[in-house]
Structure 1
Amino acid sequence: MAPAGATAAHGTPGKKPTVVLVHGAFADSSSWNGVVERPKKDGYPVVAPANPLRGLQSDADYVKSFLKSVKGPVVLAGHSYGGAVISKAAEGEPNVKALVYIAAFAPDKGESALELSNKYPGSTLGPTLNTVPFLLPDGGTGNDLYIKADKFHRQFAADVPTRVMTQRAHSRTTEIKASHAVTVSRPGAVTRVIEQAASATTGH
């Protein structure tokens, strides 16, 4: 799948930073469709690369390699598991000027998204998952996780309580009344948060 808005991200850099949108698990880059066009209309180059979803390190390595192809400053936004990916991908990348977490995991050093999802009582993700083994080209194996079809709407798009990770990271927080699939249901509100972070990097 071609990344949404890829041509804009690789063009001549302008005054505004490139917004790079990273989706999470159980989704693809089309989950950003409602968001992509809005900052583009405001003059921001925007791209939503496909997150491979093959493990945190390999996913972060892919995003990091993608970032090296983007000229000029970057605002990196992640949704859900994509938050863990952007945290790792941004390490040592001086062109990344801001990280934006959209209903996302913001892990501390040594933490995983799985650990965070099981950190507090009441997590309902585990029982909704199906595990499907896969074979890698190098002969290695792994497991894909899928939310059961009859559980997907309630599990993935249900409203969620306040997230402790924003407090720990001393993040600037914007509360939006929405489900976890906020990039789909409230793209305008998500865009405003991203553009606020982007404008702060340029002083506008």
Structure 2
Amino acid sequence: MVLVHGAFADASGWYEVATGLAHAGFPVIAPPNPLRGIAADAAYLASILATLSGPLVLVAHSYGGMVISNAATGNANVKALVYVAAFVPDEGDTLPDLQYRFPGSRVTPEALDFRPHPAGADAYIKKAFFRDTFAGDLPRATASLMWAGQRPLNASTFEEPSGVPAWRTIPSWYLAARDDHVIPVAAQRFMAQRAGSRVTEVAASHVAMMSQPAATVDLIKRAAR
């Protein structure tokens, strides 16, 4: 089980899911997602997958869906893809193409801080927007810590098109979050249907794997079977 986090987050968001999978006897790894760009992040994940033997199930949250959809293409060891409130791109799609295809996303330019770095700029969700936008069903103290430790996304990633998606040849499952204010549930349903994913819906914010870990683990187990 390879658990891939998204933007404005890190691998700690998978803690309860990883615990549940490990208790069920599954080997689990939750690698860092560099968040530098779709092609670069997919290449990094592909390099990690190349070190793992046996059948693999890739599980992604949010932007991580862009990454696994590209990293798994052509990898015969990957047997299933699981998307948790995640982007499921087709070839040529960008993040804004999918995020704003339907109304409801609160991750707008006004909700972001852009901080320059030597190679461009990084995007962060502003503190005033973070809990309501990203983690509305988690305690305020938890959301505050998540905001403080969020990993930024390289701003140029918003303009980068996705490549040939792995879901064209690998079966997929989708956990849709009905109360998501990052990726509207209508967009999630559209992407899942387009990919032919087996869909389960839960009442959850964007971080469905944190607020609904049991449902997330159950879906991953079904994908594994």
Calculate the TM-score normalised by the size of structure 1. Answer: 0.83
Q: Deviations over 1:45-96 (max 9, x none)?
A: 0010010111111111110000001111100010000011000000111100
Displacement of 1:166 after TM fit? 0.9
Greater gyration radius: 1
Residue in structure 2 matched with residue 13 of structure 1 by the alignment: none
Whether the 8 Å contact between 1:130 and 1:147 is mirrored in structure 2 is: yes
Higher RCO (C-alpha 8 Å, min separation 6): 2
Q: Deviations over 1:162-183 (max 9, x none)?
A: 4211111121001111111111
| Aligned match for 1:31, one of 6, 9, 13 | 13
Residue in structure 2 matched with residue 96 of structure 1 by the alignment: 78
Residue in structure 2 matched with residue 5 of structure 1 by the alignment: none
| Aligned match for 1:45, one of 21, 27, 33 | 27
Distance 2:209 2:195 in 1: 22
Distance 1:102 1:171 in 2: 12
Distance 2:88 2:47 in 1: 21
Residue 220 (structure 2) pairs with residue 194 (structure 1): yes
Unmatched 5+ stretches in structure 2? 137-178
Residue in structure 1 matched with residue 54 of structure 2 by the alignment: 72
Residue in structure 1 matched with residue 45 of structure 2 by the alignment: 63
SS class of match (2:43) = helix
Percent of matched pairs sharing the same residue: 49
Residue 200 (structure 2) pairs with residue 174 (structure 1): yes
Aligned partner of 1:157: which letter?
A
Residue in structure 1 matched with residue 125 of structure 2 by the alignment: 147
Distance 1:133 1:115 in 2: 24
Whether the 8 Å contact between 1:131 and 1:146 is mirrored in structure 2 is: yes
Displacement of 1:119 after TM fit? 2.1
Residue in structure 2 matched with residue 12 of structure 1 by the alignment: none
Residue in structure 2 matched with residue 15 of structure 1 by the alignment: none
Distance 1:40 1:34 in 2: 10
Residue in structure 1 matched with residue 211 of structure 2 by the alignment: 185
Residue in structure 2 matched with residue 4 of structure 1 by the alignment: none
Distance 2:84 2:111 in 1: 22
Distance 2:6 2:70 in 1: 14
Root-mean-square deviation (CA, aligned residues, Å) is 1.1
Unmatched 5+ stretches in structure 1? 1-18, 136-140, 200-204
Residue 155 (structure 2) pairs with residue 129 (structure 1): no
Calculate the TM-score normalised by the size of structure 2. Answer: 0.76
How many residue pairs get aligned? The number is 176
Aligned partner of 2:209: which letter?
T
- In the TM superposition, structure 1's runs of 4+ consecutive aligned residues that sit over 3 Å from their partners are none
Taking a change above 3 Å as real, the CA distance of residues 179 and 122 of structure 1, as seen in their structure-2 partners, is: closer
